[in-house]
Amino acid sequence: MRIDELLATGTPPVVAILRGIRPEEVVAVGQALVAAGIRLIEVPLNSPDPLDSIALLAESCGSEALVGAGTVLDPASVDAVAGVGGRLLVTPNINAAVIARAVEKGMEPLPGFITPSEAFTAISAGATRLKLFPAASLGPAYLKAVREILPAHVKSWAVGGTGAANLGDWLAAGAEGIGVGGALYRPGDTAALVGERGRQLVEAWRATMA
């Protein structure tokens, strides 16, 4: 399962960022997100026992969702995530070795960039999707300007200060989708609460598309 395949079926272009989640709660939260319509899920590697959580998500939701890791900083971590069934590979920075390893393993890299130079470094390493981070600090106008010089086949996502309230603004600026962290999940939130926030995001996306 790949991002293109999911989006082609009408899956909302939203990555759920479950920073701080614990293995004992991740299955319930993941299933609530899938039920809400969100099928791109990442567990940042600075969460408690993240590989355990990713393995559980891959087992419980992997047939319906693309799951993987965020805050991936080195090639060894790419190998570790792949080893537990993670397919999505999100980074906060541009590390050509990390991107190349993810591509080599057939994973979906989504590396974080700010400058055009960083964007082209990521593209040279094999990335076809990029994550503008921190997006809210730069704004949709910045993304729109950068999009004008990127290859047409390279897609951009916005992460950081993104959510239902500004999803439409980012899509209008040329983003393919957004990643949502604290506005969707914070440590201790119940699966029911996360599911409700997920439904609000999906409704916001549908309203924008309409």
Enumerate the active-site residues. Answer: 42, 131
Quote the CA–CA distance of 189 and 186 in Å, as a whole number: 6
The 3-state DSSP class for residue 13 equals coil
CA distance 46 to 120: 27
Contact partners, residue 117, CB within 8 Å, separation at least 6: none
Cα distance between residue 13 and residue 3, in whole Å: 9
CA dihedral 127, 146, 133, 197 (to 10 degrees): -100
Distance CA(147)–CA(66), nearest Å, equals: 25
CB atoms within 10 A of CB 150: 17
